[in-house]
Every structure is written in structure tokens, then in C-alpha cells.
Chains A and B, each alone.
Chain A
Amino acid sequence: MLNLLQEMGKRGLGVFERLGRGCILFYNIIMGLHTLIPRFGLVVYQVYSVGVLSLIIIVVSGLFVGMVLGLQGYNTLVDFGAEESLGIVVALALVRELGPVVTALLFAGRAGSALTAEIGLMKATEQLSAMEMMAIDPIRRVMAPRFLAGFIAMPLLAAIFSAVGVIGGYFVAVGLVGVDEGAFWSQMQDAVDLYDDIYNGVIKSVVFGVVVTWIAIFEGSDAIPTSEGVSRATTRTVVHSALAVLGLDFVLTALMFGEI
């Protein structure tokens, strides 16, 4: 019993310790961002590895999610004779929720885990230490560009996901089940608001991008420098990112659309 309490206490302290370290790292990264201004090339390269390399999975998933939304929405709406509103269903679901959330989950799996593994391996092979000894701050040279790249790439990926999803929904609605094309677009445009829906969706994706990238970088830099430690850190990145994204999504949705 006492052992159990002790163990729980230890775990609890460990969680706070990691949270604290994570926050310090976050602060240091933010403070290091200004050093990237004259060297934006570093960021471009990282945008390639977190953004461009995630494009395929985002586009394919977005297309299928949009098509599924179109089919499911149609099956429900047709009972009420409201299949003209299919555009609204597809667009609102994508722009408000699925775009940012699913993109963030895929982003965590594709780019986040790669980031953790990369930084973890750099730590395990003493590359980070070596940089420090060369008087090059790895936070500024390695982590800040990756962080900024995640910050830039995530909203763009989410926008691509939503846009491709809407197109997928359009194919199903107009091409497959025969919803009137004009009604599809006009109903959508009437119901989707630029500020309420699109901007809030973009804000969500920015927040998710920051959080997922932060978790990925932190887990990498905090990994035990062995191959087992790095593989565990990679798993943790995906799990923690998914939990953080879904939890934050609730909070953000309540703040934005809740009107509480």
C-alpha cells in the first residue's frame, strides 16, 4: 500500500518535472526564433520534411473523408428531403472539426514521430552535445527551425485537407448521388461563415500545429539516448499528441462555438 502511494507520488512528480522541462524548452525555442530571421533557409528545409512529405497522406485522407461525409450525409439528409444541404454538412464538418483534428492526428503520426526520432537519434549519437561543444546552440539550430516549420505547415495542411475534402464531398454529392450543383455550393456558401467557421478552423489548426510540434521536439530532446529510449519517445509523441489534440479541440470548440 505504502509502496503504491510512493510509486504514485513518484510518477506524479515525474509528470510535473517533464511538464516543467517541456515549458522551459518551449520558452527557449520561442526565445531562439529571432535567430532564424537571417537564416530562413533552415526553416524552408524543415517545411519540406514536415510539410511536403506529409502532403500525400493528407490529400488522400482528405479526399476519402470528404467522400465518406458526402455518402453518410446524403443517407441521413435524404430522409428529410434535405439533400440540398449536403454541401453544408460536408463543409462545416470539415472546416470546423475534421480538417484541423484529423490533420493534426495524421501530422502527429507522420511528421511528429519523425521529428522525435530524428532529434532523439541526434541526442543518442551525441550530435546535440557535439553542437553544444562547437558553441552552436542546438535549440536554436535544430529545434527552433523545426518548430517554426510545424507552425507554418500545419494550418496549410489542414486547409488542404478541408479543401480536398470538400472536393471529395462534391464528387459524391454531385457526381454520384445527383445533388444539384448550384444548390450544393450556394447552400454551403450561405451557411459557412468566414469568421465563425473558417478563421476558427485555422486558429484550431495553428494551435494543434504548435502543440504537436512542441510535444514531438520535447520528446525527442528528452528521450533516453538509446535505441529503446528513442522508440519509446516516438510512441509517446503519437499518444500524447493525439490526447492533447482531442482535449484541446474540446476546449477550443467550447470557446469558439459554445457561446457559453
Chain B
Amino acid sequence: MNTRIVEIWVGIFIAAGSAALFMLAMKVSNLATYTDDEGYVVTAKFEDASGLKVRSPVAMAGVRLGRVTDIKFDNQSLEAVVTMRIESQYNTLPKDTSASIYTAGLLGEKYVGLEPGGDEASLQNGDRIKLTQSSMVLEKLIGQFVSKFLNEDSSDKK
């Protein structure tokens, strides 16, 4: 076997393998939307963070701004502390932004949805989002729905 042909083939092989790895990373996985080390960190406490996972998306107005980086339990308040990293380009979120945990689609994965407030100052690294709404657990949702109806009924009668 001619040495040169062997070398060319090995070169093609290595290139094809690298290209395949690159394709898996860029086209198949979420690397393209990955920015782990940039950005700033904010935390939020939720009564219930069930279904939320590390690396779940954090979105505002349907656009992904960052990802959940940590979920912990707070011993004092008995709540879930969710840490998320927001990309540094989105640095004008108002301080009184609120966070809720939503479900993508009816049975899809959970994500943190942010809604802007009206404050002039913007969120900084290490800030805590104070207004939060927990995961929509289906049973609770139905419960809330029913009680809301009852309340409206009673207020109408007054």
C-alpha cells in the first residue's frame, strides 16, 4: 500500500470523524445556544419548583435569556431557591421583574418565565427576584380555578 494514499485516507477519516463530532455538537445538541460562563446571576425563591431542572430555560416574552444553573432548598423559608444565569446582553431587565414557572405546552418541560416590571433600575449580578409564582401543578391549578370562581361569585352578590 502506497504510504501517501494511506496518509490521505487517514486524513479524510480524521476529518470526517471530527466533522461528525462537530455536527453532533452544533446541529444535534444545544451547544449553539450555550453560553455558560457569560452573563450575570440572579436568584428567585419559589414555593414550588417541581419539574424545573438545572439547565431549564429562562425566558422573557418567549425569548430565551438564560438558563437555570442551580436549584436548592432553603432551610429557613422552606422554599426552593432557583439560581439562574442571564446572558450579559440582556442587562436592562427592571429590578421588579417577576418570575414564574411555566410549562411549555400542556405536558412539555418546565421553564422560568420572566415578566418585566416598571422599575428604572435594572437587575444586577446577585440580585434576588422578589415576585415569584410557583410551578403550575395541575391539581393546584384546578383548585385555584375553582376558588377564584367562588370568590367572584361572592363578590358579585355584595
Total A-B Cβ pairs within 8 A: 85
A189 to B32 CA separation, bound complex (whole angstroms):
9
Q: Per-residue CB proximity of B1-29 to A under 8 Å, as 1/0?
A: 10100110110111011111101110111
Contact of B77 with A by CB under 8 A: no
B73 CB within 8 Å of chain A: no
Tell me whether B14 and A48 are in contact (CB under 8 A). Answer: no
Residues of A within 8 A of B30 (CB): 189-190, 192-194
In this complex, how many residues of chain A approach chain B with their Cβ under 8 Å: the count is 29
For window 21-47 of chain B, which residues contact chain A by CB distance below 8 Å? 21, 23-25, 27-34
The secondary-structure label for the interface of chain B is: helix
Scoring A residues 42 to 81 as 1 if CB is less than 8 Å from chain B, else 0, what string do you get?
0011011001100100000000000000000000000000
Assuming A45-B6, A162-B24, what are 15 further A-B pairs, CB within 8 angstroms? A44-B10, A48-B6, A48-B10, A51-B10, A95-B28, A163-B20, A163-B21, A163-B23, A163-B28, A164-B20, A188-B28, A189-B32, A189-B33, A192-B30, A193-B30
- Which residues on the A side are within 8 Å of B27 (C-beta)? 166, 185, 189
From B6, B14, B19, B28, residue with most partner A Cβ within 10 Å = B28
| Cα separation A202 to B16 with both chains bound (whole Å) | 15
Q: Decide yes or no whether A168 CB sits under 8 A from chain B.
A: no
A residues in contact with B21, CB < 8 Å: 155-156, 159, 163, 202
Knowing A188-B28, A193-B55, A198-B24 are in contact, say whether A159-B17 is a contact too (CB < 8 A). yes
Pick from B3, B13, B23, B34: contact of A55, CB below 8 A.
B13
| Interface presence of A242 (CB below 8 A) | no
Q: Is A207's beta carbon under 8 Å from chain B?
A: no
Q: Provide a sorted-by-A list of 29 A–B residue pairs whose CB atoms are within 8 angstroms.
A: A45-B3, A45-B6, A47-B13, A47-B14, A48-B9, A51-B13, A52-B9, A52-B10, A52-B13, A95-B24, A153-B17, A155-B17, A156-B16, A157-B17, A159-B24, A160-B17, A162-B24, A163-B19, A163-B24, A166-B23, A166-B24, A189-B28, A189-B29, A189-B30, A189-B32, A192-B28, A193-B30, A194-B29, A194-B34
- Interface contact A194-B10, CB-CB below 8 Å: no
* Nearest A-chain residue to B11, judged by Cβ: A44
**Is residue A117 contacting chain B, with contact meaning CB distance below 8 A?**
no
* A197 at interface by CB-CB < 8 Å: yes
Q: Which of A118-142 contact B (CB under 8 A)?
A: none
**Beta-carbon contact of B6 and A193 below 8 Å:** no
Give the docked Cα–Cα distance between A91 and B13 (Å).
Answer: 22
Judge whether A192 and B9 touch: CB under 8 Å.
no
Binding site for B on A (CB under 8 A): 44-45, 47-48, 51-52, 55, 91, 95, 153, 155-157, 159-160, 162-164, 166, 185, 188-190, 192-194, 197-198, 202
Of all chain A residues, the one with the shortest Cβ separation from B64 is A190
Contact (Cβ within 8 A) B28 A91: yes
Q: Which residues of A contact B32 (CB under 8 A)?
A: 189
Do A194 and B31 have beta carbons less than 8 Å apart?
A: yes
Which residues on the B side are within 8 Å of A194 (C-beta)? Answer: 25, 29-31, 34
Inside 8 A of A52's CB, which chain B residues have their CB?
Answer: 9-10, 12-13
* B33 to chain A: closest residue by CB: A189
Q: Is the CB of A160 within 8 A of B28?
A: no
Which chain B residues lie closer than 8 Å to A189 at the CB level?
Answer: 27-30, 32-33
CB-CB nearest in chain A for B14: A156
For residue B29, which residues in chain A have a CB less than 8 angstroms away from its CB?
95, 189, 192-194, 197-198
